[in-house]
Amino acid sequence: MKSSYRNAVNYSSLKKFVVSVFVLILFSSQLSAQWASTDFLVTDYFGRIAVYNQNLVFQRYLDSDFPKVTGLDLSSNGTLVAVGQTGRMKTYNSAGTVLLDITDANIGDPIDVKTSPFGLFHIGTMVSNLSVSEFSMAGIFNRHIGNKQYGGIAIVGNTLWAGGNRVPGIIDIFDIQSGALISTIVLDNGQINAASMRFSPTTNTVLMTDLGTDRIYERTATGTFVRQFDQVMGVFGATRGPGGDVYAVTGSPSQICRWQATGTLASCALINTTVTDAINIVWAGGLVPTAAQVKVSGRLIKNGSGVSNSIVRYTDQNGTINSARTNQFGYFTFEEIEAGQTYVFQATAKNCVFTPQIITVNEDLTDLIFAAQE
């Protein structure tokens, strides 16, 4: 499977794109963040993504034009990804800037979306021939995993858990890299389905909501039953929140409910004045930096010979700039780059002009070549 994607565009349009990237970065850096690390983000099936502080007080809408938005997740680099049941996927940075907005038939009729440590998006499409769809962070479709109407999904280490209310009684576990089915969890202790799931790294457990019983269930990373939570009608989209408590939303009426880590219901807060049909929730404070680090290396050449003592720079999606200098043979290396991001690479050398390159890097890249224009 191809893991690095290069956008082939002409030099003139690429220069304009690079300029626009830096203008956007400069502008975005002046904006206040749209959510804090203590905030909750909630999808509203009516078409909005709402931000609430840790006291569940409404702050603002991150997006108010996303019909039938359902799944929501945060990647390790702080990118928010959302999917909707119109075959649409959008990503945002913390300043609220839309980084990606695509419509693709492979998105299906989704419930959950999750990001993997390999810098990929996985979507529970709820369509049998699509199963779980995998996309790069640049929005490029890679493959389908499984062959059932999976809706609820979770990423647990290097495995993908897939279940849903349309595949009752089981959760299938796949190896993310190969896509192979490696085991199946048979649900027990009264659990009927896993309509929506989320891995909780602080407890090494998976939270899952069950539309058949209106409960949250918790299982270990091996699938062993831990507990069921007090019942709340229409509960969906659970997330681990401050203090280890568990939070989930209900759609009618729209509310955010909180349970103690033991499963005891603590409170429910009505939010129906700000959202119409809450369907999913994620806590920004649960973000754990687990993205893989990769290496990018290459060479600057002119007339077939290496260009020494020159500078290569890259800019990531958050505006961070890093540089490396070429050795006597024109080679350069960046040792620790976060997988799954799109980078703008530029090279500078005396009496040379190089075309910038825009690349999404998912694994080690060893052949990034800059050839001086004749």
Q: What is the mean pLDDT of residues 244-273?
A: 96
| 291 confidence band (pLDDT: 50, 70, 90) | low
In this predicted model, what pLDDT tens digit does every residue of 140-155 receive, in sequence order?
999 999 999 999 999 9
Q: What is the mean pLDDT of residues 305-312?
A: 94
| 8 confidence band (pLDDT: 50, 70, 90) | very low
Q: What is the mean pLDDT of residues 353-373?
A: 90
Q: What is the mean pLDDT of residues 232-237?
A: 95
Q: What is the mean pLDDT of residues 326-331?
A: 94
Q: What is the pLDDT of residue 318?
A: 65
Average pLDDT over the chain reads 88
Question: Which helix or strand (DSSP H or E) is residue 295 part of?
Answer: strand 293-302
| 94 confidence band (pLDDT: 50, 70, 90) | confident
Name the more confident of 106 and 315. Answer: 106
pLDDT of 27 > 60? The answer is no
pLDDT of 5 > 60? The answer is no
- C-alpha of 182 from chain center: 23
Q: What is the pLDDT of residue 252?
A: 87
What is the C-alpha separation between 278 and 250, in angstroms, rounded? Answer: 6
Pairing, β 153-156 against β 365-371: unpaired
Question: Which helix or strand (DSSP H or E) is residue 278 part of?
Answer: strand 278-283
pLDDT of 10 > 50? The answer is no
What is the C-alpha separation between 212 and 190, in angstroms, rounded? Answer: 10
pLDDT of 246 > 70? The answer is yes
Percent of the chain with pLDDT over 90: 72
In this predicted model, what pLDDT tens digit does every residue of 167-186 receive, in sequence order?
999 999 999 988 999 999 99
Neighbours of 192 (CB within 10 A): 15
| 212 confidence band (pLDDT: 50, 70, 90) | very high
pTM > 0.85: no
Q: What is the pLDDT of residue 287?
A: 67
What is the C-alpha separation between 252 and 366, in angstroms, rounded? Answer: 53
pLDDT of 282 > 70? The answer is yes
What would the two tokens of residue 11 be?
Answer: 């030099």
Q: What is the largest CA-CA distance in the chain?
A: 72
| 23 confidence band (pLDDT: 50, 70, 90) | very low
Percent of the chain with pLDDT over 70: 89
pLDDT of 361 > 70? The answer is yes
Q: What is the pLDDT of residue 32?
A: 54
In this predicted model, what pLDDT tens digit does every residue of 30-73 receive, in sequence order?
345 689 889 999 999 999 999 999 999 999 999 999 999 999 99
Of 363, 372, 370, 371, which is closest to residue 296 (Cα–Cα)? 363
pLDDT of 14 > 70? The answer is no
| 286 confidence band (pLDDT: 50, 70, 90) | confident
pLDDT of 289 > 90? The answer is no
Helix (H, G, I), strand (E, B) or coil at 15: helix
Name the more confident of 344 and 229. Answer: 229
In the structure, how many helices (H) and strands (E) does the chain have? 1, 33
Q: What is the pLDDT of residue 76?
A: 77
